[in-house]
Amino acid sequence: MSLRWIAATAFALAAGGAQASSLVVCTEASPDALNAVLSTANTSFDVTEQYADRLVEMEIGGSKLIPGLAESWTVSDDGLRITFKLRHGVKFQSNGAFKPTRDFNADDVVFTFRRMYDPSSPFAKVGGGDYPMFGSFINTALKSVTKTDDYTVVFELSRPQAAIISVLTGQSFSIASAEYGEAMLKAKTPDQLDLNPIGTGPFQLVNYQKDSAVRFRAFPDFWGTKGGMPERAAKVDTLVFSITPDPAVRFAKLRANECQVMRYPNPADLDAIRATPNVTVQDATIASVSYLTFKADKKPFDDRRVREALALAVDHESLVKAVYQGTGTPATALVPPVMWGHNPDIKPRAYDPAKAKALLAEAGVSGLSLDLWAIPVARAYMPNGKRAAEMIQADWAKIGVTARIVSFEWGEYLRRARAGEGDATMLGGTWDYPDPSQMMVSFTCEMIPPGRNAGHWCNRDYSDKVNKAGTIFDVAERTKLYQQAQQIFNDEVPAMLFADAHAFVAVRDSVKGFKLHFLGGQPFGGVSVP
């Protein structure tokens, strides 16, 4: 999707003409979309988290599911029907082109999901018509979303999906205004639903300037203030995401109090940040995965021996030590230890360049040359993609493999990676909801067409186990299947895993109420500064 600067709106002053309070957050990259329905990137989730809400939410800084725009829900005995009772009195935001005439109701929920699953929806193709999170985690099981009255909606499923309530906490499933959509359709500007989005969240999006800033203002009619969720209400008048790709510059801005929250610090700077007066570093173990995926439907990467050789040739311990600098440990299994379903029996793959050479010779491969794609921005799961790529390049050279390091601007990188353009592509992610299925399904055969399986690896046994686990509500049985699938992943080497990581955020002591959130977008409701 092409993003453009939204028309600027002046920030509101605090009530009674008092000095307005502002929280500035130094972030690492521009969002690839302002509406997370179109994205899989946390930069987009962070934006949507501020202005929109979901039917189901997670407690900030944890993984407990709590009511959001749905006050309650019930699941039928066969797991095929989920009924949501909706919250009353929830207001939508407005902008220069639209002012709502009614509160949130069931029509908005139906509108939001119909756009994603019904090709006849007038919004189905708006923004390119690609809904990657929906396609990965809901579409294969969802039959319909219907309204039974103004405050009741029913999700009908074609098969049980054990993770669906957790899935719905993701920012990609934030509820949009049907009335706004109709108004923009009538004005022949339906793309404004994504370019100038509104929601029911604690902040309203004011403007976005690519590679510079995303600006928000407090939404005074946020339902949570009086609706049992005051901890999510805006406590500052303005919120600014200052887009600052260089972590050294982010640190300098934090020291100068040009930003009060610094995300994704360079691991090498953590000691210096901790020594900075009036600054505190928060950290949390995160549910994440980082990997280098191989193009499994392209020769010679279609040969398991070649993939294993490339993995064996990398000195993982040295790489993790140099790149993560104490903020990660070498990963073993696809599901990290902090997430239920982890397979503890899988051991680290040894560094063995001699065996790597032997495997390449056995596969009849010599003089291999490939493109090695490096993540261009710091992520919690990969703090320095360029450094990691350089170390891999050097290790591969020792077994006669030539790697050309390739990178792009973050949005372009994601687009090309999803299209499967790379030979060996660095990717990863944090779990957006507390269920092992999220990242595991990204390596199933079914995720190749939607662009979630960038390496195009298709192993039917792996896919069947993961897909079957998603239909079972018994946690012990699901765990068994997920652990078996992780063993297949380890044996077939569709990707080389990097590290189980910690996330760090540097916060000035003047900031109150901030909690590092490690599943999905980071909320800034409830955060205040003097």
Which residues does 388 contact at the CB level (< 8 Å), separation at least 6?
A: 319, 323, 374, 382, 426, 498
Lowest mean per-residue pLDDT among 10-24, 138-152, 170-184: 10-24
What does the block give as tokens for 178?
């049907």
As a whole number, mean pLDDT of residues 462-470 equals 95
Strand partners, 282: 505
What does the block give as tokens for 75?
């699941």
pLDDT digits (tens, 9 = 90+) for 242-260: 999 999 999 999 999 999 9
pLDDT digits (tens, 9 = 90+) for 316-361: 999 999 999 989 999 999 999 989 999 999 999 999 999 999 999 9
∠ at Cα 230 (519, 92), nearest 5°?
85
Contact call for residues 391 and 54 (beta carbons, < 8 A): no
Element (H, E) at 417: helix 410-418
What pLDDT does residue 3 have?
Answer: 36
Residue 408 has pLDDT above 70, yes or no: yes
Could you tell me whether strands 81-86 and 65-67 are parallel, antiparallel, or unpaired per DSSP bridges? unpaired
pLDDT digits (tens, 9 = 90+) for 379-389: 889 999 999 99
Q: Which CATH number fits domain 288-502: 1.10.357.10, 3.40.50.11610, 3.40.50.300, 3.10.105.10?
A: 3.10.105.10
CATH topology of 20-260 equal to that of 288-502?
no
Contact call for residues 489 and 462 (beta carbons, < 8 A): yes
Residue 266 has pLDDT above 50, yes or no: yes
What pLDDT does residue 19 have?
Answer: 67
Residue 13 has pLDDT above 80, yes or no: no
What pLDDT does residue 311 have?
Answer: 98
What pLDDT does residue 430 have?
Answer: 86
Provide the residue ranges of all domains of the chain, joining segments of one domain with +: 20-260, 288-502
3-state secondary structure of 88: coil
Residue 289 has pLDDT above 90, yes or no: yes
Contact call for residues 399 and 368 (beta carbons, < 8 A): no
Contact call for residues 520 and 169 (beta carbons, < 8 A): yes
pLDDT bucket at 18, cuts 50 / 70 / 90: low
Contact call for residues 158 and 143 (beta carbons, < 8 A): yes
Residue 450 has pLDDT above 70, yes or no: yes
What pLDDT does residue 474 have?
Answer: 87
Percent of the chain scored above 90 by pLDDT?
85
As a whole number, mean pLDDT of residues 277-299 equals 95
What pLDDT does residue 529 have?
Answer: 96
Among candidate residues 311, 293, 297, the one with its CA nearest the CA of residue 355:
311
Could you tell me whether strands 369-373 and 424-430 are parallel, antiparallel, or unpaired per DSSP bridges? parallel
As a whole number, mean pLDDT of residues 448-472 equals 94
What does the block give as tokens for 119?
């090709």
What does the block give as tokens for 144?
């319909």
What pLDDT does residue 433 have?
Answer: 87
Q: What is the mean pLDDT of the chain?
A: 93
pLDDT bucket at 278, cuts 50 / 70 / 90: very high
Listed in sequence order, the DSSP H helices in 226-331 are: 247-255, 270-274, 304-312, 316-324
Give the CATH number of domain 20-260: 3.90.76.10
Please give the DSSP secondary-structure letter assigned to residue 72.
Answer: E
